[in-house]
Amino acid sequence: MLKKAGYFILGLWIIFYAGLAAADIYTFIDSDGVLHFTNVPTSSDYKLYIRESVQKNEPRYDTQKFDDIIRDAQKKYGVEFSLIKAVIMVESGFNPKAVSRVGATGLMQIMPTNYESLSVKDPFNPMDNIMGGALYLQRLLRRYEYKLPLALAAYNAGPDAVDRYKQIPPYTETQNYVKKVMKTYSRYKNS
């Protein structure tokens, strides 16, 4: 009984503070009856408990703070400054501590499964993250013969999806993502 009361109080606390945290909360009860909460589900056992709410006063991040690192990444990997910056803007809004609902992290929202192949030791370190993201963009651009919309679609949905459809996959999220990055890229390039 005491255990259930504790879960009830914890649940109320989560509901009350969820708007302040602005992150989806997932839960599941394991075989021992223990209730688990997370904002980054690690298995399909987790079910959505509370949907993220967008705060009106979300912090705005300095869009020029990482320009020197972006320039270094451009020199090292040959990916345009404006493109790297556009991906950062769309992926994280320049929040170096961003974590997506699927676990992608940092400025360029790199998936944990890609850390090693992209030499990302600390995904929340702007230098590591931008260098890893720029390397990934370089690889995707080469893979898709510098067809930028396909490379961007692969950055969002994964290369397997682009290879399967041989075009931008018919996923609304990916199609919107490509449009947003292309528009942002054009704006940065022409400014």
Cβ(37)–Cβ(27) below 8 Å: yes
Count of Cβ atoms closer than 10 Å to residue 141 Cβ:
22
* Residue in the block written with tokens 């950062």: 88
Indicate the SS3 state at residue 110: strand
Handedness of CA 160, 166, 171, 175 (dihedral sign): positive
The whole-angstrom separation of Cα 179 and Cα 59 is 24
Catalytic residue among 52, 58, 80, 91, which?
91
The tokens describing 66, both together, are 């990482």
| 91 carries an active-site annotation | yes
As annotated, the active-site residues are 91
